A and B are shown apart, each in its own frame.
Chain A
Amino acid sequence: MPFVYGMSSWLYLAAALVLSIGFIAYAVALYREYSDELARKTFRFSLVHLSALFAALLLDHYIF
């Protein structure tokens, strides 16, 4: 969304794509075969996901 609106460039777009694909991979794996451990990992990844996404937004803001 920030890329489409023009508030950030390809750096954010790339980060958003990679992170989202990562989360979808976790979601699909979790759907196929459930374990508490994988659910915990998915939760952990979601924390990294959001932090990294905003870090990318910030980095993008200063570099471009």
Chain B
Amino acid sequence: MVLAVPGVPNWAELKLGLWACVGIWLVAGAAAAFNCLVEKTIDAKMKRTAWRPTAKGELSDRQALLFSAILCAVGSVMLYVLVNPLTMWLTFATFVGYAVIYTVILKPLTPQNIVIGGASGAMPPVLGWVAMTGQVGPEALILFLIIFLWTPPHFWALALYRVEDYRKSGLPMLPVTHGNEFTRLQI
């Protein structure tokens, strides 16, 4: 956000950035909650995620879904009204990308899950840039690419030492499907 404006941001830019942060944060929270709901059975089988309230059964499906929907709605309205419509639509697209395309479709389907799903994770600088300037500048795409390329080796390193957890969960992470050595080669 501060990269998108020349020099030190003025008061109006600071306010805009702050609203955008809160709005994007709310929608990101909605996506995370949705992920917890969809994956509650898988989460319960893995050490890293077994503590989640949805996995432990402390929250009902209805509660989790409602929580996610409210966060998404409030965040989206905030972005639409106080920031700009393009930021809202791109943030919503990122929500769908993470909560549906990545979590529901790609993750249980293919070891390429994090490679493609990494696109959602790489969106935040684009959203920040659009919030401040109203358009997707080339700089925003460069920042997107940096995170997009960083993502696969980052998660493969994690998956290597959590491989038993992933095997139990049934998720086709690369070390599970193609083995330890192949994953190290890819990193």
Contacts and interface: CB of A to CB of B under 8 A. Distances in A.
| Size class of the contact patch on chain B | 20 to 34
Contact of B157 (A7, A43, A62): A43
Interface string B167-183: 00000000000001100
| Size class of the contact patch on chain A | 20 to 34
27 contacts: A1-B142, A1-B145, A2-B139, A2-B146, A5-B138, A5-B139, A5-B142, A7-B139, A7-B142, A27-B187, A30-B160, A30-B184, A31-B184, A39-B160, A39-B161, A40-B161, A42-B187, A43-B154, A43-B157, A43-B158, A47-B154, A49-B150, A50-B150, A50-B154, A53-B146, A57-B3, A57-B143
Interface of B: 2-3, 8, 138-139, 142-143, 145-147, 150, 153-154, 157-158, 160-161, 180-181, 184-185, 187
A53 B150 CA distance: 11
A61 B2 contact: yes
Contacts of B154: 43, 46-47, 50
A39 B174 CA distance: 14
A50 B8 CA distance: 23
Interface of A: 1-2, 5, 7, 23, 27, 30-31, 34, 36-37, 39-40, 42-43, 46-47, 49-50, 53, 57-58, 61-62
Nearest to A60: B3
Contact of B187 (A30, A40, A57): A30
